[in-house]
Structure 1
Amino acid sequence: MTQEALRPLVVVTVTYSPGPHLERFLASLSLATDRPVTVVMADNGSVDGAPEEAEQRYPNVRLLRIGANLGYGSAVNRGVAAYHNDDFDPEFFVVANPDVQWGPGSIDVLLEAAARWPKAGALGPLIRDPDGSVYPSARQQPSLVRGGMHAVVGPFWKSNPWTATYRQDHEQPSERPVGWLSGSCLLLRHAAFDQINGFDERYFMYMEDVDLGDRLGRTGWQNIYVPAAEVLHYKGHSTGRDPARNLAAHHRSTYTFLADRYPASWQAPLRWTIRGALAVRAGLVVGSSRRKQAKGRR
């Protein structure tokens, strides 16, 4: 093995009181690659002690205190910047949620795929939900019609054709370029990430991965889905703590994404329409979520 291959691969994970998920993440990581790994926990203000305990237990884990809850993309950017130096792999790094459980060889399979796709800026594995079903983590970019119809009718008409096309529901798992990949687990190329200045920090949560994939594609890089690599995603880190708040954040991020794609002054009426439609939809789904929460507390 060459000295280059011996350089640790940095794995950045964003923690926010991750609880027992973090231990499963770290314990399974040894199965994901034969390479030396340094885990950077970019911590957004945990109060459960899990990141501190992990740093004590695992010699390859580093705790980077952000100082406040800046959101997912901002924390990743700081984690990457703090450990982007000659001591670590200069070409690739990994970003993953702390509620991911690594499949055997999953990172090595992504690295092997990267060698086959020299223009790959991001590569993502097949992601399974806890029940074993495949999560649609490799999707087309949400065009105004496709993304809009998915957003408007998706919650009420699950089998609608716009959602199926956007999520690529009828595609068989195959290694291929896609519009964007779930940010819950990504192998990223430093050169590509640096060229687009990392995650857009206007996104506190949600849509930052859609935006990342879009900007990579616009600058000539590819987003490559690699289903031969598998991880399990428990989705229990922070998104489930306040569903209503998270739904509202999702709608705000969706507007930011779409407004950026239609920035001209003559497109202002379109932006107003998008904002209004999203506000109505947010009111409906957030209200429904809060009613369910209230009923659950009775």
Structure 2
Amino acid sequence: MKKELSIIIVNYNKYQLTQKCIKSVISNINNIEYEIIVVDNCSTTIISYTQLINKNKNNKNVRVLKTIQNKGFGYGNNEGVKASKYENILLLNPDVEVLGDSIEKMLDRILSDNNIGVIGCKLLNEDLTLQYSCRRFIPLTKFLLARTPLKRLASNKVINKINSQYLMLDYDHIEEKEVDWLMGSCLMLRKKDFNEVKGFSKEYFMYFEDVDLSYKLKKAGKKILYYPQASMIHLHEQESTKKINKLTYFHFISMYKFYKKFVLN
């Protein structure tokens, strides 16, 4: 079977990170016919877009698109999927570095089982320690206490117990496992499944798009698969959980929209 893959990377004012991500894909992808679609999500610094164009203009496998306005992370990915030509899709954050043959391993695994709705690899921090990227759905009250600045209202014992459940600390992260949801930094899925659940939901500007997508695929009877046999580095920042700022605002708004939409108890 011919292996084909469209790789979508959404850029917003992060030319250097995005270009590093592109380079890591090209350096580590083998035995796959592929395209890389970079969606510049209306970067406020025009140089970010023009540098991506200039740097990749001679690479036939790389296309750089530009949205007419920034409607959020999910919107940018949706536009990339619309422009893609292959059935298999890899959604990559620009702050991800591909390691070894991880892309091929993920593609082989999803092609082996039509019931897989989305597959995510093991994500590592920059120091190669494990990043907890597969998670459980938890009630709203628990999420507020453990994953937002409201954590100051709870004891460490309560927070640790909730985080253990939420981050699946009871799981060794060695064997593949069906999970509730996967962090959106590196997700592989079929375009058919993505379109059937209408892609990333439009109501989120930032945060919870990945939770929502996993939930919709799970409701459609698909597997959400954590696949640690493949791994990548993710320069993950958790600014929205540490202090009150603009990111906290987006996190709260998206969280409210998700829980209101699906009413998890």
- Provide the TM-score with structure 1 as the length reference: 0.77
Aligned runs of 1:128-207 on 2, under 5 Å? 128-144=124-140, 146-151=142-147, 154=151, 157=156, 160-173=160-173, 174-207=175-208
Note the C-alpha offset of 1:181: 0.5
Deviations 1:18-68 (A, max 9, x none): 132122211111314431221111111122333223332533111111011
Say whether 1:121 aligns with 2:117.
yes
* More relative contact order, 1 or 2 (CA 8 Å, 6+ apart): 2
Deviations 1:138-189 (A, max 9, x none): 1112334543443366566385211111110121112011001111111011
Conserved? CA contact 2:81–2:191, under 8 Å: no
State the partner residue of 2:230: 229
The count of aligned residue pairs is 252
State the partner residue of 2:263: 262
Match of 2:39 among 37, 42, 52: 42
**Corresponding residue SS for 2:105:** helix
Conserved? CA contact 1:32–1:103, under 8 Å: no
Say whether 1:216 aligns with 2:208.
no
Equivalents in 2 of 1:27, 1:219: separation in Å? 35
Say whether 1:106 aligns with 2:102.
yes
Q: Which runs of 5+ in 2 are unaligned?
A: none
Equivalents in 1 of 2:195, 2:145: separation in Å? 33
Question: What is the one-letter code of the residue matched to 2:31?
Answer: D
State the partner residue of 1:287: none
Conserved? CA contact 1:25–1:102, under 8 Å: yes
Equivalents in 1 of 2:99, 2:107: separation in Å? 14
**Corresponding residue SS for 1:249:** helix
Equivalents in 2 of 1:123, 1:52: separation in Å? 30
State the partner residue of 1:244: 245
Conserved? CA contact 1:180–1:210, under 8 Å: yes
**Corresponding residue SS for 1:12:** strand
Closer, same or farther in 2 for the Cα pair 1:89/1:57, shift >3 Å? same
Q: Percent identity?
A: 26
Q: CA RMSD in A?
A: 2.5
Question: What is the one-letter code of the residue matched to 2:258?
Answer: F
Note the C-alpha offset of 1:118: 2.3
Closer, same or farther in 2 for the Cα pair 1:33/1:205, shift >3 Å? farther
Equivalents in 1 of 2:162, 2:64: separation in Å? 42
Equivalents in 2 of 1:232, 1:105: separation in Å? 13
Equivalents in 1 of 2:193, 2:146: separation in Å? 29
Question: What is the one-letter code of the residue matched to 2:74?
Answer: G
- Provide the TM-score with structure 2 as the length reference: 0.86
Runs of at least 4 residues of structure 1 off by over 6 A? none
Note the C-alpha offset of 1:100: 0.8
Deviations 1:53-106 (A, max 9, x none): 3332533111111011111101111111122xxxx332x111011111001111
* Structure of larger gyration radius: 1
**Corresponding residue SS for 1:220:** coil
Say whether 1:15 aligns with 2:16.
no
Conserved? CA contact 2:35–2:61, under 8 Å: yes
Conserved? CA contact 1:14–1:42, under 8 Å: yes
Q: Which runs of 5+ in 1 are unaligned?
A: 264-269, 271-298
State the partner residue of 1:27: 23
**Corresponding residue SS for 1:160:** helix
